[in-house]
Amino acid sequence: MGPLALTLLLVPVLLVSAYMFRSIEWLCGALVLTSIGIVFEYFRQYANFAKNDPDRLQSEEYRYEMKKIHIIAGKDLPRPIPLEELNLAEPVSNPANPMPTIESVINYDGVGKGGSA
């Protein structure tokens, strides 16, 4: 979707150009229709990827990690591999929503907040 996202930058340029050349109706109309066509094609391609190949909309790191997991899972190994032996990236969390601390979740009497024993 990266190259298509760059074409979205043409839309404001085309619309400003259409406004500047509003006295020439056929040129103004062509510029507006072209900008509408670019937006329509972008969303059509996005919907196509979302329906047929949603993993292509993920980041490169996500696809790399999933490929490693599929390769390991696809092998007929004589024994299961422990999670510690897998060379996976560390999980990350959203800095805007940090993980709660144990103290904020559990009361000192051992009962979870919002629940009863």
User: Which parts of 1-117 fold into alpha helices (H)?
Assistant: 2-7, 10-20, 25-52, 60-74, 102-105
Q: Kindly report, residue by residue over 104-117, the tens digit of the pLDDT.
A: 666 555 555 555 54
Q: Domain extents for the chain? A: 2-80
Name the region of 13 (left: φ>0; alpha: ψ -120 to 50; beta: rest). Answer: alpha
| 106, β-bridge pairs | 112
Which pTM does this prediction carry? 0.48
**Residues 62-99: pLDDT tens digits?**
777 777 777 777 666 666 667 677 776 676 667 777 77
